[in-house]
A and B are shown apart, each in its own frame.
Chain A
Amino acid sequence: MGSQIFSAILVIIVGVGGCVAYFWGANKLLDLAFPSRGVAGRAAIDNLRRQGIVRPWLFVGPALLILTVYLIYPVVDTLRLSFMDRAGQNFVGLANYQWAVGDREFRTSILNNFLWLAVVPAACTFLGLIIAVLTDKIWWGNIAKSLVFMPLAISFVGASVIWKFIYEYRAEGQTQIGILNAFIQYLGGTPQVWISIPFWNNFFLMVILIWIQTGFAMVILSSALRGIPEETIEAAVIDGANPFQIFWRIMVPQIWGTIAVVWTTITILVLKVFDIVLTMTNGQWNSQVLANLMFDWMFRGGGDFGRGAAIAVVIMLAVVPIMIWNIRQATRESGEGH
């Protein structure tokens, strides 16, 4: 245990030291190879130009290397593996995708993922917007925001334990220690095993993600709301608009861009949702989702890399439109900007 702490500290020192040494050393080496000081005018200019060509690559080099090994190569290789057999040895064509289309569990996952996509981003954005608007009006708004924001720091596993305790079930008539069933029993209802009710259990799992992510939506939207020019709202008030008209007709249209950003960010997160399903149900009772199914196939029966890769590619395909839109948006911005 002591040696583990020691080696961790050593790694930080070696890692950081190594990075500094690389950047400093490479830079120094470049200066030595193409000296710009102490040489005649013409040569100095040539060397400066050469330095200018090489130096950017020294700076981006390490990042580029890591990105290639950990993201670019894997993406290409996952694509390739999705056409291979379980060990990744023989080409099997579209067999993995054909299997997926015919597999009941895969189809359940796809349906559930659509359900998550339809509910979670909308719920987070809507609740976040409402809380942002309401907290703007009261003196303790910042404290309230901070508390709603807090679950964002909690891990999905931690949140799952927290909510599993809320959904805790005891037989009817016993003292319920889960707050939801206690409430239901208090109202005279029958306690339920919430996470094993097919179809509806999806929603009880979604609640956890909504609980975590609403704070994110709230913070971003709140800052966008503050950017709305006062005059537009004052003008609406003078024209006799009621609060709901101001909200829907004046405020929301002015922050559409931000709403879209929040929506897409949460959409990507939802596509990757894994921890919550793994810890709450592990896909039982028809609550499976793609990311958990993919993880399952990575190790099930010694691991089927072909099927796992095919499921990963399906998740990737859903992200591609957002990716293209992001890149377009960013290149347009930098084209107009500096």
Chain B
Amino acid sequence: MANTRGKSFIGRFGVHIAVLIFVAIWTIPTLGILVTSLRDKDQITVSGWWTALTSSTQTVAGRLPGASAQVERDGTFVIEGNIFESGSGQVGAFGTRVQAPTQYAAGETAELNDGVTMQLNEDGSFVLTSPQAFEGDRGQRVYYSVLQPPSFTTENYNTVLFSEGIGRSFLNSLTVTVPATVIPILIAAFAAYALAWMRFPGRALLIAAIIGLLVVPLQMSLIPLLKLYNGVGAFFGVPAKTYLGIWLAHTGFGLPFAIYLLRSYIAGLPREIMESARIDGASDFEIFVKIVLPLSFPVLASFAIFQFLWVWNDLLVAMVFLGSGSDQLVLTGKLNALLGSRGGDWEILATSAFVTIIVPLIVFFSLQRYFVRGLLAGSVKGG
């Protein structure tokens, strides 16, 4: 198939370019967040993240020293000094009016009113001269652009993890995700085996029901379960929003897909193995534990990845079944809250977003093969 198209050089070249464009569109957005999260807080607001590797310019307003700093030299009055307190920096341009903050290039001499001249050099040193004595304590207003070398920092991560509460939410997400991934696997595996290899009345109906439940929107479950949880909480005098509640909810919502995926895999295991084990006197329980479970490892891994990603990335279930206090707010919920409270603070938002997506990305890239296999089994076979 590879040689049917793009035989000409131009055609092949075109394919490479087209794929490159697609890849760029699909990676640049994430790259933007990553780069932003590593940039200095002040640089984020003054220049686009794509310029992170070049120096950025920032316009600063300042005031030169007042009359007390002047010295008389050959009949002219001079004020000298350096605008950088630390003594280092790079000036790109300067000006004296806010309307034209970069009127003069660094090193140029600006002619101001009454014969006053001003020179601001690249290294920040300035010379202000005047034929008459300077008066007043308020010095000359000056605007200048500072070239800032690219600077990267991990400070944003410190901030969000330890003072914005992302670290705590990270733990909460783990607390929700791990049990909600592990519990459904066992329950589904037993059910899947029964539906695949045991004969009992109502089996076909059950399979049909599970395929039907696969597509039931979550929205259909929310209100009755919310009522149920509130009722149970009130009856036993316990909080309605608990981790146990969300573990079970995620288990319930994940089960149809788990049973469906596992059943189609387990049903495809070779019949001979089961039958020879049965002839050897193995019971269903033994067959399941000793033969089916080990053979099903790939599909169990597939489902585990799916469920992990699904639960970790979920916002809706967490918002309904968990509270919004810091002890229960998961990463997605926290990120949503930050979008409201820290709307324009991109150093916080970008860094928090990256923290929330890093775990799924690691899981995804390291276990991609199982993920793809599950995806194919889960959607193509079933129709």
| Segment with Cβ contacts to B, from A97-105, A106-114, A174-182, A196-204 | A174-182
Given the known interface contacts A75-B221, A275-B316, A294-B219, the answer about A162 and B30 at a Cβ–Cβ threshold of 8 Å is yes
CB within 8 Å of B: which A65-110 residues: 66-67, 69-75, 77-78, 81, 88
For chain A, the bracket of interface size reads 35 or more
- If A8-B243, A70-B252, A177-B49 touch, whether A298 touches B222 (CB-CB below 8 Å) is yes
Specify which of A224, A225, A279 lies most central, judged by the most chain B CB atoms within 10 Å of its CB. A279
Contact with B along A149-173 (1 / 0, CB 8 A): 1111111111011111110100000
A257 (CB) vs chain B CBs: closest residue = B383
Chain A, residue nearest B174 (CB): A8
**Pick from A52, A75, A163: contact of B216, CB under 8 Å:** A75
Asked whether A157 and B335 contact (CB < 8 A) given A144-B23, A162-B33, A177-B45, the answer is yes
When the two chains form the complex, which single residue of A77, A131, A237 contacts B19, counting CB atoms closer than 8 Å? A131
Contact with A along B182-215 (1 / 0, CB 8 A): 1100111011011100111001101110111111
Question: Are A161 and B217 in contact (CB-based, < 8 A)?
Answer: no
**A258–B380 touching, CB < 8 Å:** yes
CB distance from B211 to the nearest CB of A (A): 5
A280 → B minimal CB distance (Å): 9
In the bound assembly, the distance between CA atoms of A272 and B259 in angstroms comes to: 22
Q: Is B225 an interface residue (CB 8 A)?
A: yes
How far is it, in angstroms, between the C-alpha of A331 and the C-alpha of B203 when the chains are bound? 12
- Kindly provide the distance from the CB of B293 to the nearest chain A CB, expressed in whole angstroms: 11
Q: Bound complex: CA of A153 vs CA of B26, how far in Å? A: 13
* A326 touches which of B23, B171, B194, B211 (Cβ 8 Å): B211
Residue A187 lies at the interface, judged by CB distance under 8 Å to chain B: no
Interface size bracket, B side:
35 or more
Task: Give the distance in Å from the alpha carbon of A275 to the alpha carbon of B171 in the complex.
Answer: 21
Would A165 and B349 count as touching, CB distance under 8 A?
yes
A230–B2 Cα gap in the complex (Å)? 10
CB interface residues, A 1-48, toward B, < 8 Å: 1, 4-5, 7-8, 11-12, 15-16, 19-20, 23-24, 27, 31
Q: Judge whether B187 and A19 touch: CB under 8 Å.
A: yes
Which residues from B are CB-within-8-Å of A158? 313, 332, 335, 353, 356-357
* Interface segment, one of B102-110, B125-133, B371-379: B371-379
A237 to chain B, nearest CB (A): 6
User: Which of the residues B16, B23, B314 comes within 8 Å of A147, measured between beta carbons?
Assistant: B23
Q: Say how far A159's CB is from chain B's closest CB, in angstroms.
A: 8
A228 at the interface (CB under 8 A from B): yes
Contact A60–B206 (Cβ < 8 Å): yes
Q: Which residues of A contact B62 (CB under 8 A)?
A: none
- A223 at the A/B interface (Cβ < 8 Å)? yes
- List residues of chain A with CB within 8 A of the CB of B225: 70, 74
**Interface check B282, CB cutoff 8 A:** no
Contact A157 B182 (CB under 8 A): no
Listed A/B pairs (15) with beta-carbon separation below 8 Å: A11-B179, A60-B206, A62-B190, A67-B210, A77-B224, A78-B220, A152-B364, A153-B309, A155-B312, A162-B353, A237-B4, A246-B4, A279-B339, A315-B217, A319-B217
Binding site for A on B (CB under 8 A): 1-2, 4-6, 12, 15-16, 18-19, 22-23, 25-30, 32-33, 36, 44-50, 168, 171-172, 174-175, 178-179, 182-183, 186-188, 190-191, 193-195, 198-200, 203-204, 206-208, 210-228, 243-244, 247-249, 251-253, 255-256, 259, 267, 283-285, 288, 309, 312-316, 319-320, 327, 332, 335-336, 339, 346, 349-350, 352-353, 356-357, 360-361, 363-365, 368, 372, 375-376, 379-380, 382-383
